[in-house]
Amino acid sequence: MRSVTVRRYGRGARWLHALVYTGVLTELVTGAWFVLIGYEAGFVVGLTDVHEYAGFALTAVVLGGIVVGIRGARTFLAESVRFRRSDLRWFRHWPAGLRTGRFAYHDGHFDPGQRLANLVMVVLLAILLASGVGAMYLPGPFGIAVFQAHRFAAYAITPVLLGHIVIAAGILPGYRGVWRSMHLGGRLPEEVAERIWPGWLAGYRAAGTDRSGGYAIGAGSAEPGTGRAPTPGLRTWRGLWRARSGSARKS
């Protein structure tokens, strides 16, 4: 019997993610090489050009992704900045959950740790891209100051990205299987989604099932030509959460 799967991300989000992490990894590898052999030596082996062109390409991808997917960008930001007092409970249980997979309940599209990491990565990536361009074109002491900011942001974002890779790759026992949400069609086993994103899965289930053995995305009327309902907006998630909380109080 085939296990039920749920679609976490659509094709556009997966392609954008792949392009962004390809550019970021290129920047990190070439940037680390500058630290090891020195910036001047980078000119000799051509790494400086690779670093700069990759930076311009990454900037174009990020800006293009925001323009083309403005609704998704707004939802990403709104979901990343929302925090509740109950999120502190999730953080208290998180270290044990890395090993056991038993995390505290949360109702967000992202878990509280993801939200915090999203904000840190977005801010530092913006500083990296802006300061990288500024260091190339600003004259004298302004360019030097911006370059120092570029280096600081690079050092600060590296451990955050490494942690994100370890978690997203499913290396830790508690996060086994999550890598499928961004690869191979964006589907992952339902039990993995229930372990990591229980509130999101509750909204997903409320939308009904689709033809491919999983649940349809969202709630409400189907998208034209797809047979699937659109992704629930923030109001839908809040409504589901209020209904859930009301039922809990009555019981």
Q: What is the pLDDT of residues 171-190, one digit of tens each?
A: 999 999 898 888 878 888 88
Q: What percent of the chain has pLDDT over 90?
A: 48
Q: At the fourth CATH level, which superfamily is domain 7-185?
A: Transmembrane di-heme cytochromes, Chain C (1.20.950.20)
Closest CA to 47 of 60, 64, 28: 28
Binned at pLDDT 50, 70 and 90, residue 208 comes out as low
What is the 8-class DSSP label of residue 69? T
| Banded pLDDT at 234 (limits 50, 70, 90) | very low
Q: 34 CB contacts (<8 Å, ≥6 apart)?
A: 42, 47, 51
For the segment 72-98, the average pLDDT, to the nearest whole number, is 91
Q: Supply the pTM of this predicted model.
A: 0.76
Position 31 scores a pLDDT of: 87
Q: Is the pLDDT of residue 251 over 60?
A: no
Poorest-pLDDT segment among 14-18, 29-33, 76-80, 126-130? 29-33
Please report, for the chain, the start and end positions of each structural domain, with discontinuous segments joined by +: 7-185
Q: Is 192 buried (19+), middle (13-18) or exposed (0-12) by CB count in 10 A?
A: buried
Dist CA 170 CA 218 (whole Å) = 26
pLDDT value for 83: 87
User: What are the phi and psi torsion angles at 222 (to 5°)?
Assistant: -75, 150
Q: For the chain, give the mean pLDDT.
A: 80
Closest to 196 measured CA to CA, from 162, 167, 156: 167
- Residue 187 has φ and ψ, to the nearest 5°, of -100, 145
Is the confidence at residue 247, as pLDDT, over 60?
no
Both tokens assigned to 194: 């229930």
- Measured CA to CA, the distance from residue 173 to residue 177 in angstroms comes to 9
Read off the pLDDT of residues 107-138 as tens digits, 9 standing for 90 and up: 889 999 999 999 999 999 999 999 999 988 88
Q: Identity (one letter) of the amino acid at 143?
A: G
Residue 232 has pLDDT above 60, yes or no: no
Instruction: Examine the pLDDT at 66 and tell me if it is beyond 50.
Output: yes
Average of pLDDT values for 76-104?
91
